[in-house]
Structure 1
Amino acid sequence: MKKRTMRWASAGLVLSLFLASLSFVPSGSGNASAATSKSMAALYAQIQNERAAKVVALVNKERAAAGLKPLTVHTNLSKMAKDKAIDMFKNKYFSHTSPLYGSPFDMMDAYNITYRYAGENIAKGQKSAEEVVEDWMNSPGHKANMMNANYNLIGVGYYNGYWVQEFIGK
């Protein structure tokens, strides 16, 4: 019993020293952990935005090859797509129907997005924009959304392995 207590006490001391070393901030540097946290969040947001932009570029490349007009990024549709990706991740579901927002069309209404035509593609687990677009292009239903001539606006969201494309035509 004494040995086990000693081991836990040693482990606790090592952990305490390690944690103390993480909180050490040299004088004059401000709050390094808050700055690091903010810079990590900014970096992650930048990566998400780059992935979304790459998806749009790849989709427009496929559309151009098929003789279709490119899709234009719609800011509010992009916010909706990102929020849907976050919702799927946080609420642990994978479906076009959100327990929080309802259908994609309900969600568009909630985001004050008007449309004549609308569609959504979702995916989970792909590591890159190239991989997710390839998977969507190899799926007849998803490809039909990406190549639909009635759509002229797109929003793309990515969050922790969840990908969402929202399409509308006005």
Structure 2
Amino acid sequence: MERQRPPIATLLPATLLGAFLALALLVGPGASTAAAAGCPGSDAGPRKISNETAARAIVCLVNKERRRHGLGRLKFHGELERAARGHTKRMQKRDCFDHVCPGERSLVGRYEKADYLPCRCSWGAGENIAWGAGRKGSPRRIVNAWMHSPPHRANILRGSFQHAGVGVRWGSPTRRGANAGTYTLDFGYKR
């Protein structure tokens, strides 16, 4: 016996509803708003909060994502914070949005300069960078963008990472005077 196909009029609304729900999950408030709860400054746009508050909000939001996935929290690490701040400053100063700007050391070189490395241990390093103008420059929007980007998401959810340092500066690495926020999130572990 041959199965009858449902008429197109039945399939189309179901397909459209499915597409709408998928889109709502991607851009809707859902998990992002829930993740932002309890992270002061997470919804503030550029220049509305201090750089330090924005940096703490980034780590708070990242830790909420890690907790949702059964991972341990990242701890602020002063040396990584120094490396991240230096890179964020360099990106803006050099009009460069990249992991290595002209005249700058590699990620490992920046970790060495900040005294996170070398060590007589096993270690790992990773970095996420982002910038956003207006409301897209809030810590919540930045973390949400990272979570929707496979390589950035992989850094956030890498179980071996233990430490984090965040560099935040108001302004854009590519447009002078923009109402924007530029972020560097450096990850590491040492064992």
* TM-score strictly above 0.5: yes
Displacement of 1:101 in angstroms is 2.3
Tell me whether 1:97 sits opposite 2:104 in the alignment. Answer: no
- 1:133 correspondence with 2:143: yes
Whichever residue aligns with residue 55 of structure 1, its letter is I
The SS at the match of 2:99 is: coil
C-alpha distance in 2 between matches for 1:121 and 1:76: 16
Higher Rg:
1
Structure 2 residue 182 is the aligned partner of structure 1 residue 162 = yes
Give SS of 1:77's match: helix
Partner Cα separation in structure 2 for residue 113 and residue 100 of structure 1: 20
Within the candidate set 99, 117, 123, 2:124 is matched to 117
Equivalents in 2 of 1:151, 1:110: separation in Å? 20
The residue that corresponds to 2:89 in the other structure is 86
Whichever residue aligns with residue 167 of structure 1, its letter is F
Tell me, in whole angstroms, the C-alpha distance in 2 between the residues paired with 1:87 and 1:100. Answer: 9
Distance (Å, rounded) in 2 between the aligned partners of 1:79 and 1:94: 18
Separation of aligned partners in 2, 1:98 and 1:111 = 17
Secondary structure, in 3 states, of the residue corresponding to 2:96?
A: coil
Report runs of 4+ in structure 1 exceeding 6 Å deviation: none
Q: Secondary structure of the equivalent of 1:93?
A: coil
Aligned residues: 126
* SS class of match (1:144): helix
Structure with more of its chain in helix, by fraction: 1
SS at structure 1 position matched to 2:154: helix
Q: What TM-score, normalized to structure 2?
A: 0.63
Taking the aligned partners of 2:104 and 2:163, their CA distance within structure 1 comes to: 21
In 1, Cα distance between equivalents of 2:91 and 2:77: 21
1:53 to 2:56 alignment:
yes
| Offset, 1:102 | 2.1
Aligned to 1:71: 74
Once the two structures are superposed, residues 111-166 of structure 1 have per-residue CA deviations (whole angstroms, 9 ceiling, x without a partner) of 12126110000011242000000000000000000110110000011112210000
Q: Percent identity?
A: 33
Q: Following the alignment from structure 2 to structure 1, what is the Cα–Cα distance between the partners of residues 101 and 78?
A: 21
CA distance in 1, matches of 2:86, 2:67: 28
Stretches of structure 2 lacking an aligned partner (at least 5 in a row): 1-46, 171-180
